[in-house]
């Protein structure tokens, strides 16, 4: 060790440049990396600040933390409006980081109070409302955020707004979770999709809003599909999916959105399957009716009504053929019915369906 750290060791080293000496950091990479470290540092600093404030306050007096937060919130809001006009990047970054961490803190508190059925007071309501106010003012007044980052911040604001509304509805009205995450979600999502982007202050985020609400619409569709088969008393989910397929079909008609068309077709198929589940697997006639009524309706629909978009018929016919094939395979697996007559009847009906589909698509 003495020899390694002594001048004698370094004198004996080769004069050729080593790999380490060739490793240089360019100015461009530094310009990109340093701001990222700054932002991360501010977020971590504010997170540690609120956690320490929370623990310190509860070490002395359990009810002190909300009052600390309220005073701090009002002070920061005042400073935010004073300094926002100066348009200094560091100041804006500090406020932006603080508002983001503060709202994230209340997302955790929302979850905690729902899980443990904790009571809330007026201070909690005011503080959580202030966090919502912070987010919207940051989105609207912080002009130093680039366009992409502002879109992400706006999406986070929408997420917080949803959780904020759902938390208080659940807390005060005790709505069951299956209804909260189906009916209420559907009502809110449709309202937001159709109206919130038309509000003047949100107009510049219209496209971002549409994508955001459609994405949530698809997630809630999956939740409603799951509830449809998990709950015996499923009538309210049937009504929900009926309105859902109307909404998604209208989205497809207006915006040529084929994901919404797929959700519409899937809603119809799942509602159809749900009504035929009680059938006896050994009843060949009833299974033939179940297998081919819906595909026939899909194909005949394309003959009777002219679709608005050029590829609609392909999606509708593919859904019909896929449903019939999956139903046939499921029938043979469940019933183990391999009678030649039954197989011949299925082949005949399937060929008629294929010929009908081919004739319509070929005509297009």
What are the pLDDT digits (tens) for 204-240? Answer: 888 888 888 888 888 878 877 877 777 766 666 777 7
- Comparing 179-183, 299-303, 325-329, which segment has the lowest mean pLDDT? 179-183
DSSP state of 183: I
Element containing residue 325 per DSSP (H, E)? helix 312-335
Residue 351 makes CB contacts below 8 A (sequence gap 6+) with none
Task: Please tell me the predicted confidence (pLDDT) of residue 231.
Answer: 72
User: What is the average per-residue pLDDT within 2-26?
Assistant: 48
Cα(323)–Cα(339) distance, integer angstroms: 22
Cα(353)–Cα(243) distance, integer angstroms: 29
DSSP state of 118: -
pLDDT in tens, 270-301: 888 887 766 666 678 888 888 899 999 999 98
pLDDT exceeds cutoff 90 at 164:
yes
Share above pLDDT 70 across residues of the chain, in percent, rounded to a whole number: 84
Burial class (CB in 10 A: 0-12, 13-18, 19+), 28: exposed
Task: Please tell me the predicted confidence (pLDDT) of residue 192.
Answer: 81
315 closest CA partner among 269, 353, 259, 248: 259
Task: Please tell me the predicted confidence (pLDDT) of residue 143.
Answer: 79
Q: How confident is the model at residue 61 (pLDDT cuts 50, 70, 90)?
A: low
Residue with the larger pLDDT of the pair 104 and 238: 104
CB 326 within 8 A of CB 287: no
Task: Please tell me the predicted confidence (pLDDT) of residue 233.
Answer: 65
- Helix, strand, coil percentages (3-state) for the chain, rounded to 5, are 85, 0, 15
CB 56 within 8 A of CB 67: no
Cα(85)–Cα(141) distance, integer angstroms: 9
Task: Please tell me the predicted confidence (pLDDT) of residue 168.
Answer: 93
Task: Please tell me the predicted confidence (pLDDT) of residue 295.
Answer: 92
User: What is the average per-residue pLDDT within 125-153?
Assistant: 86
pTM: 0.74
Q: How high is the mean pLDDT of the chain?
A: 80
Residue with the larger pLDDT of the pair 305 and 189: 305
Task: Please tell me the predicted confidence (pLDDT) of residue 2.
Answer: 42
Q: Which of the residue ranges 86-90, 136-140, 203-207, 314-318 has the most confident prediction, judged by mean pLDDT? A: 314-318
pLDDT in tens, 19-28: 444 445 555 6
- Token code pair at residue 101: 């961490």
């Amino acid at each position: 060790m003495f020899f390694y750290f002594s001048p004698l060791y370094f004198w004996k080293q080769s004069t050729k440049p080593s790999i380490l000496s060739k490793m240089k950091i360019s100015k461009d990479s530094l310009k990109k990396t340093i701001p990222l470290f700054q932002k991360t540092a501010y977020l971590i600093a504010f997170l540690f600040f609120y956690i320490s404030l929370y623990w310190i306050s509860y070490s002395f007096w359990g009810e002190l933390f909300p009052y600390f937060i309220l005073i701090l919130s009002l002070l920061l809001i005042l400073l935010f409006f004073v300094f926002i006009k100066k348009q200094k990047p560091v100041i804006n970054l500090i406020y932006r980081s603080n508002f983001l961490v503060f709202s994230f803190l209340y997302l955790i508190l929302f979850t905690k109070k729902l899980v443990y059925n904790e009571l809330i007071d007026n201070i909690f309501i005011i503080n959580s409302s202030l966090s919502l106010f912070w987010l919207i003012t940051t989105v609207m007044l912080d002009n130093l955020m680039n366009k992409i980052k502002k879109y992400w911040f706006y999406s986070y604001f929408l997420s917080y707004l949803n959780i904020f509304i759902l938390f208080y509805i659940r807390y005060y009205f005790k709505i069951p979770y299956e209804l909260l995450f189906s009916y209420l979600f559907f009502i809110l999502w449709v309202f937001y999709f159709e109206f919130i982007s038309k509000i003047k202050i949100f107009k510049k985020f219209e496209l971002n809003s549409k994508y955001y609400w459609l994405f949530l619409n698809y997630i809630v569709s999956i939740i409603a599909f799951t509830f449809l088969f998990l709950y015996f008393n499923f009538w309210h989910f049937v009504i929900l999916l009926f309105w859902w397929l109307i909404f998604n079909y209208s989205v497809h008609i207006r915006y040529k959105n084929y994901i919404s068309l797929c959700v519409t077709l899937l809603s119809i198929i799942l509602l159809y399957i749900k009504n035929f589940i009680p059938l006896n697997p050994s009843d060949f006639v009833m299974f033939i009716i179940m297998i081919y009524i819906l595909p026939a309706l899909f194909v005949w629909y394309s003959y009777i009504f002219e679709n608005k978009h050029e590829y609609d018929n392909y999606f509708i016919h593919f859904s019909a053929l896929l449903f019939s094939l999956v139903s046939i395979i499921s029938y043979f697996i469940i019933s183990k019915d391999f009678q030649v007559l039954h197989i011949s009847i299925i082949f005949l009906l399937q060929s008629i369906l294929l010929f009908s589909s081919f004739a319509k698509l070929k005509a297009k």
